[in-house]
């Protein structure tokens, strides 16, 4: 099915997302030595992206729907697994036509590839609060390795509501969307190839 095109491309949106979970590893060890499952709270999961538009300014957007969980042993500082799924058709830039273009086969091809997936493969702690998260990002049916710099902001019992032990995490990375075959607007300089990904999340221990 054909999708309307803008004379000027609006921008691409590779992610990733999300991609960050598994950060719990950066917090201080707790009494339990058992691996525990942490689920990302969908109400506190922000997935943002930023990319250049014709050299004038960067376009800022978000994915509005994502979910994920990871299994982590705090005392042993071992990440056993981690997965984030992001709904491609939830791309949002506060402009309906641009968002439709993003979801088209020029960029995310959301009809054919509805889910963007990040699978964690390893976490290296640099300190009690900072580390490097490695994993595989699957976008447009292609899987490539990505590396995110992560920060543990807080690890504590939540002060209200569910009151469960919760990790507050931030992650940043920059990818080249053309590595996944998303090349629209790259050669003529209309849309930047580099996409900065920004992830902010709260993960609740189960």
Kindly report each contact of residues 182-190 with a partner whose C-beta sits within 8 Å and lies 24 or more positions away, as own/partner.
182/12, 182/14, 182/107, 182/108, 182/139, 182/140, 184/9, 184/12, 184/106, 184/107, 185/9, 185/11, 185/12, 185/106, 189/54, 189/55, 190/8, 190/9, 190/53, 190/54
Q: Examine the pLDDT at 112 and tell me if it is beyond 50.
A: yes
Full set of structural domains in the chain with CATH: 23-205 (2.40.128.110)
pLDDT of residue 167: 94
> How far apart are alpha carbons 171 and 150 in whole angstroms?
4
Work out the pLDDT band at 4, boundaries 50, 70, 90: very low
Q: What is the pTM of this model?
A: 0.83
Work out the pLDDT band at 33, boundaries 50, 70, 90: low
Work out the pLDDT band at 128, boundaries 50, 70, 90: confident
Q: Examine the pLDDT at 198 and tell me if it is beyond 60.
A: yes
pLDDT of residue 72: 83
């Amino acid at each position: 099915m054909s999708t309307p095109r803008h004379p000027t491309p609006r921008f691409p949106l590779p992610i990733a997302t999300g991609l960050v979970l598994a950060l719990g590893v950066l917090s201080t060890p707790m009494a339990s030595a058992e691996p525990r499952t942490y689920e990302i709270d969908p109400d506190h999961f922000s997935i943002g992206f930023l990319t250049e538009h014709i050299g004038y300014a960067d376009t800022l957007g978000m994915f509005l729907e994502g979910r994920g969980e990871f299994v982590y042993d705090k005392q042993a500082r071992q990440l056993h697994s981690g997965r984030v799924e992001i709904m491609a058709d939830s791309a949002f830039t506060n402009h309906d036509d641009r968002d439709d273009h993003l979801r088209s086969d020029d960029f995310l091809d959301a009809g054919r590839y509805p889910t963007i997936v990040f699978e964690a493969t390893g976490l290296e702690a640099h300190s009690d609060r900072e580390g490097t998260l490695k994993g595989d990002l699957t976008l447009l049916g292609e899987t490539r390795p990505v590396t995110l710099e992560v920060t543990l902001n807080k690890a504590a019992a939540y002060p209200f509501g569910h009151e469960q032990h919760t990790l507050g995490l931030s992650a940043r990375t920059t990818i080249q969307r053309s590595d996944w075959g998303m090349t629209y607007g790259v050669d003529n300089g209309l849309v930047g190839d580099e996409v900065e990904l920004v992830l902010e999340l709260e993960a609740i221990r189960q």
